[in-house]
Chain A
Amino acid sequence: MGMPTADSQPILKVVDLSLSYLTRQGPVHAVQSVSFDLGRGQSLGLVGESGCGKTSVANCLMRLLPDNGRLTSGQILLDGQDLVPLSEEEMRHFRWGRMAMVFQAAMNALDPVYRVGEQVMEAIEAHGVEGTTAGARERVARLFRMVGLDPQLMERYPHEFSGGMRQRAVIAMALACDPAVIIADEPTTALDVIVQDRLLRELKGVQRELNMSMIYISHDIGVVAEVTDRIGVMYAGRLVELGDTADVFGAPMHPYTAALMSSFPSISGEKHGLETLPGEPPNLANPPAGCPFHPRCAYATEECRREFPSQVRRGSRWAACWHPLTDMAGAGK
Chain B
Amino acid sequence: MTNYLIRRVGQMVLTLFLIVTLTFFLVQAQPGDYATFYSLNPDIPAEAREQIKASFGLDKPLWQQYLVHMKNTFTGNFGISFGHYPRPVLEVLAERLPRTVVLFLSATAVSFYVGFFLGKAIAWRRGGVLEYAATISGATLFTAFTPAFALMMIWIFAFKLGWLPVGKFLDPLIWRGAEVSANHVFSYMLATAAVFIVFAFLTLLAARKLGRLGAGRTPFLVIAAGAAVVPMAWAFTGVGYLALDILRHMILPIATLTLISFAGTMLLTRNSMLETMREDYVMAARAKGLPEKVVRDRHAARNALLPVITSLVYSLIFAIDGSVIIEAVFSWPGTGMTLLEAVRSEDLPLVMGSIVFIGLFSLLAHVIVDVLYVYLDPRIRYQ
Contact = CB atoms under 8 A, between A and B. Distances in A.
B279 A108 contact: yes
Interface stretch (A78-86, A88-96, A209-217, A296-304): A88-96
Nearest to B213: A133
Nearest to A97: B289
Interface string A107-139: 011111100000000110111001111101100
B289 A127 contact: yes
Contact of B294 (A88, A126, A173): A126
A11 interface: no
A126 B291 contact: yes
Name the residue among A94, A97, A112, A130 with the largest chain B CB count within 10 angstroms. Answer: A112
A204 interface: no
A122 B292 contact: no
A62 interface: yes
B284 A157 contact: no
B214 A133 contact: yes
Interface stretch (B221-229, B251-259, B360-368, B374-382): B374-382
Nearest to B215: A133
B7 interface: no
Contacts of B238: none
7 contacts: A62-B287, A96-B288, A110-B281, A111-B285, A112-B303, A133-B210, A173-B288
Contacts of A130: 213
A246 interface: no
Contact of B281 (A64, A108, A137): A108
Interface in B343-381: 376-379
Contacts of B49: none
Given A110-B281, A112-B303, A159-B378, A88 B290 contact: no
Contacts of A110: 281, 284
A123 B288 contact: yes
Contacts of A274: none
Q: Which 7 A-B pairs have the closest CB atoms?
A: A133-B211, A95-B289, A108-B280, A133-B213, A111-B281, A96-B289, A109-B284
Contacts of A125: 212-213
Contact of A95 (B212, B214, B288): B288
A92 B289 contact: yes
A93 B377 contact: no
A101 interface: yes
Interface of B: 210-214, 279-281, 283-292, 294, 298-299, 302-303, 376-379
B289 A113 contact: no
Contacts of B378: 112-113, 157, 159
A256 interface: no
Contact-residue size bin, chain A (C-beta under 8 Å from the other chain): 20 to 34
A113 B377 contact: yes
A62 B213 CA distance: 26
A82 to B, nearest CB: 18
A130 B210 CA distance: 16
Nearest to B306: A113
A28 B331 CA distance: 63
A157 B381 CA distance: 13
Contacts of B302: 111, 113
A111 B303 contact: yes
A88 B292 contact: yes
Given A103-B280, A131-B213, 16 more contacts: A88-B292, A93-B289, A97-B289, A100-B287, A110-B281, A111-B299, A112-B379, A122-B290, A123-B290, A126-B289, A126-B294, A132-B213, A133-B214, A157-B378, A159-B379, A173-B284
B317 to A, nearest CB: 26
A126 B286 contact: no
Contact of B214 (A94, A123, A132, A137): A132
A53 to B, nearest CB: 18
A66 to B, nearest CB: 9
A95 B287 contact: yes
Contacts of B212: 125, 133
A93 B283 CA distance: 16
Contacts of A108: 279-281
Contacts of B377: 112-113
A126 B281 contact: no
A56 to B, nearest CB: 14
B122 to A, nearest CB: 15
Given A133-B214, A159-B379, A64 B286 contact: yes
Contacts of A127: 289
B213, B292, B298, B303: residue with the most chain A Cβ atoms closer than 10 Å? B213
Contacts of B280: 103, 105, 108-109
A254 B30 CA distance: 89
A132 B211 CA distance: 9
Which of B214, B286, B289, B376 has the most chain A CB atoms closer than 10 A to its own CB?
B289
Contacts of A126: 288-291, 294
Nearest to B286: A64
Contacts of A159: 378-379
A157 B379 contact: yes
